[in-house]
Chain A
Amino acid sequence: MTISKRLLGSGAAVAVVLALAGPASGEDFRIGIATAQTGGLAFADQPSLLGFQLAVEEINAKGGLAGKHRIVLDIKDTRTDTAATVQAAQELVAAGVKVLITPCDADPSIAAGQISQPAKIPTLTFCGSTPTIPGAVGDYMFGTFPADNYQAAVLGAFAAEKGYKSAYILKSPDSAYTLKLPEYFAEVFKKKGGAVVGEGSYTLGQQNFAAEVTKIQTLNPAPDVIMTAAYEPDFPAFIKQLRAAGVSTPVLGSDGVDSPTTLGLGSVVDGLVHSTGGFPAEGTPLAAFYAKWKEKTGKEPETIYVATGYEVGYIIDAAVTAAGSTEGPAIREALANLADLQLVTGKVTYAGSNRMPLRDVTLVEVRDGKKSLVKRATPDPADVPAP
């Protein structure tokens, strides 16, 4: 008895809430956002959303998408839970959103995409960088962030340019990102004449890297470079223990370490080179964006995800403008054919890219708690490993 009462009670409360929320006006363009504002993915989804909201504010100030369709956001927290993402996607699709935004991870993005795909709703993942995301879902699913294999291609080419001949890769089978990115790197590096002389494996959340560090120390010949896609808390633990053991081999990382934590690690990360979505070098559009952000919020963006989230707003604006329509199929078509769209971190091209954008990958070097630009590069399509 208590059960039905409780369900009824909560149901009624929700019904009231829903009734009061009210529908959006007819001209509005409703964008559903099902992302992880809490939980393990919040580190990426939160800043992405903040950036995106600024873009929406600006676009609406100019009259809306294509100058006429005011954006209304329908935001749901997925709590870093795939089932909650599915529920949010179901609700948003039922609510008639025109575009769906999904979290920075493959599982929930693909799960949500499988729901929006049959409804012909263009769907974009904030910073999900797994290159298989669009292919797994279908023609309405788009990535927005530089894909893992693009990052790996640039990192691999960079390693070869630096004259490194041998590499050690550290990967974790626990997630696609920590497993596949180093594997993509190894593929590129070998193609460029390098050799992978050792591989280490770790568990996400592992605190003790003594075994891996010892393995690296005893490698003969010693590797010229170590590559990993580890991020916090694993990366800080690893690099501290590696340097404490006296190993000074250069380390290459990926965008997962593009966080204030890394900059706060001190001298152990001096010389670390990692890939990321962009760098605000003086005079670049990104520097201008950072200045604008600082003016608005009082502080510099802490991660690149603010900028890449901001860009997603303009990617949608460009697609709706090019489509001349607010219908899903037209927007999808326009989105898939976008080319050389100038955004704050660089140019974005979808044409011919299987919905994972071709865009610049930036390499930065960390020293004295600051990042400096190493290079910005568009991966050579011949180098990019198949997803």
Chain B
Amino acid sequence: MSQLGERFASAGEAQLSALLLAAVVAAGALLLVLVLGDWGARIATLYLMSLMGVLSLAVFTGNSGIVSFGHASFMGVGAYVSGILTMPAAIQQGALPHLPDVLAGHQLGLPLALVMVVIAGLVAGLVSGLPIARLSGSGASIATLAMLIIVHVLLIGARDITRGSQTFYGVPNLTTLSVALPIALAFVVIARLFKEMPFGLKLRAARENEVAAAASGVDLFAARYAGWVLSITMAAVAGAVYGHFLGAFSPKDFYFDLMFTMIAMLIVGGMLTVTGAVVGTALITGVIQVLRQVESGMDLGLVQVPVIFGLTQLGLGLALLFAIWRRPLGIAGLTELQLPLSGRRASVPAPAAVAPAPSQPARAGALEVRGLTKRFGGLVAAEDVSFQVDRGQIVGLIGPNGAGKTTIVNMICGQLAADAGQAHLDGRSLAGLSPSAIARAGLGRTFQAIRLFDRMTVLENVTVAALAVEPGPIAARVAAASLLERLEVIGDVTRLAGTLPYGARRRLEIARALALKPRYLLLDEPAAGMNPAETDALVGTLSRIRDDFGLGLLVIEHDLRLIMRLCDRIVVVNKGQRIAVGTPDEVRRDEKVIEAYIGRRKDRPQAVPA
């Protein structure tokens, strides 16, 4: 007991939450058995089976935000694999006379068959994930829909192995409560922990803001691929369990109807949390089970309730409508089930445990921009722009609206391919690198319109970026926490980033960029929307960052007062061309700059305001 207590004490919040959630599921299932006996056990088994499917879906869809329509057919793959491997040889000879010898006559037990299902699921996930992980948003959703259809057609086409569209029968009915319960509990724990693991964090970051995730060093493909493969492997296992419940099925049992049921369960409960999957599945299973009892007609002594078939479907529809109307994010919303007391303590690793990262001494090196050129059709957005940001220097990039500043920034960060020219980071060319690779190479950035991972905590926001450079997830968490403390972003790091006030959002974005341990930092209009007092504070912060971290800073700004006070050197662009470069004093007196900002005066040149 004390050992367990110790484990709980040392376990993180996520582990606790996972165990708690699993305990609630187990308690619910066992309670059903206690109250309703065999009948309750059957309902519990149904619930746990649905839960497995929904959790497999939640691992990908919940974390990536990409609604998958493909999982049902991968459940089919698992069902067929396990069905073939466990089928009694006598039945198999009758049902599948043309089964290839490799597959025939194994008569495996369920555990061994499930191992093979896991392997099959892995292979199916690895193959199907290649196209899907390259896509995002609705494009990826459509790709999963294509997967549903492709796998369905393959299952029907492989007639020797699956009996095609004919019923595949003779699958041993092995799915009992004692089989479904441990697997479902394992699924709860896996799904809950995956959320907090590096790939889960990165996947959620990509869900919240793809561009910012890439700029935080997240390899979008890798994150989605990992999530998909795990998710599909789980789907195959869930399908195998489902198959052993059905005993007889055909590909149509693993098609749209099953898919929509699972998606409905997930969305009603809340796509963003594992708790949501658990609750949504429970709610829908509960509604179905109660209504199907009612609709079969009852003799209540005095009153005879008539048989009204269709009540289940109708009630289910109404429940869905009501749940989504009242709780658009699902019943669970954004919060996972957790012990009320555990919260704060466990979520903030003590930064004192690890000394703050020592300031990196400013070494030689530079971010060099050489001849960057970009044309959009006939419009020249940037033409042969060159400048340099040395380590330890703050360089301002200014110019009137439409001068091409954003285009230049996007080319440096890899969001836009340059027509000519390239950027170099300490001599290394960045040409052809993805935004995330450039971020990992040592160039952090912030955005003009703040891009945070709104439905993730402050700590998670920074941890995602820290994962790119720290040796492990715990080190990343600790590094993130210490950085947050150093930059005095906000007291409560467990707050959701979307709930922060403006100034804190700006600071958080800078902290996230710094978590990459960059050598250069690109700040896109950091003072936008700030009042003079806040701008003054920002000047102090940025100078301190430069000194503490030995960074080279490139600041894009409209606020000339800020630029003149902050920068060592200033690059001025207009109409896509660099028109001046030099110290603030030099630039202020530059005729071309004055002309660009104020317009030509016949009599005498006027200085740009100090």
Interface set of A (CB-CB < 8 Å, partner B): 1-4, 6-15, 17-18, 20-22, 37-39, 74-77, 79-84, 86-87, 90-91, 94, 106-107, 110-111, 113-115, 130, 132-133, 135-137, 173-176, 179-180
Contacts and interface: CB of A to CB of B under 8 A. Distances in A.
Contact of A115 (B173, B278, B295): B173
B279 to A, nearest CB: 6
A173 B159 CA distance: 10
A173 B169 contact: no
Contacts of A80: 257
A7 B40 CA distance: 10
19 contacts: A3-B24, A4-B24, A11-B35, A37-B310, A82-B249, A83-B46, A91-B42, A110-B248, A111-B246, A111-B247, A111-B249, A130-B167, A132-B166, A135-B94, A136-B248, A173-B156, A175-B252, A179-B164, A179-B165
A6 B298 contact: no
A110 B294 CA distance: 26
Contact of A17 (B31, B247, B249, B293): B293
A385 to B, nearest CB: 14
B28 A174 contact: no
A136 B283 contact: no
Interface in B294-342: 294-301, 307, 309-310, 312-313, 331, 337
Interface of B: 24-25, 27-28, 31-32, 35-36, 38-40, 42-43, 46-47, 49, 94-95, 156-157, 164-167, 169-170, 173, 242, 245-250, 252-253, 257, 278-279, 282-283, 286-287, 289-290, 292-301, 307, 309-310, 312-313, 331, 337
A136 B170 contact: yes
Contact of A176 (B40, B157, B250, B286): B250
A6 B292 CA distance: 17
B312 A3 contact: no
Contact of A79 (B31, B46, B312): B312
B159 to A, nearest CB: 9
A136 B169 contact: yes
A20 B24 contact: no
B31 A130 contact: no
Contact of B293 (A14, A38, A176, A179): A14
A376 to B, nearest CB: 29
Q: Chain A CB within 10 Å — which of B27, B94, B173, B286 has the most?
A: B286
B178 to A, nearest CB: 16
Contacts of B35: 8, 11-12, 15
Nearest to A20: B300
A37 B313 CA distance: 11
A133 B250 CA distance: 13
Contacts of A110: 167, 169, 247-248
B169 A77 contact: no
A251 B272 CA distance: 54
A130 B49 CA distance: 29
A107 B248 contact: yes
Contacts of A18: 39, 293
Given A12-B35, A22-B299, A179-B164, A114 B286 contact: no
Contacts, number: 159
Given A10-B289, A179-B164, A94 B294 contact: no
B165 A87 contact: no
A83 B247 contact: no
A87 B36 contact: no
B167 A3 contact: no
B282 A7 contact: yes
Contact of A14 (B46, B290, B299): B290
A136 B167 contact: yes
A4 B283 contact: no
Given A6-B283, A82-B253, 11 more contacts: A3-B279, A4-B24, A18-B293, A20-B299, A37-B309, A76-B296, A77-B309, A110-B248, A115-B173, A115-B247, A176-B167
Given A20-B300, A37-B309, A174-B156, A87 B42 contact: yes
Contact of B36 (A15, A21, A179): A15
Contacts of A176: 164-167, 250
Given A7-B286, A110-B248, A76 B298 contact: no
Contact of A7 (B28, B39, B246): B28
Candidate in B242, B253, B292 with the most chain A CB atoms within 10 angstroms: B292
Q: Which of B36, B39, B300 has the most CB of A within 10 A?
A: B39
B299 A77 contact: no
A166 B289 CA distance: 53
A11 B40 contact: yes
Contacts of B309: 37-38, 77
B156 A94 contact: no
A75 B337 CA distance: 39
B173 A114 contact: yes
Nearest to B153: A173
A296 B173 CA distance: 43
A193 B245 CA distance: 46
Nearest to B167: A106
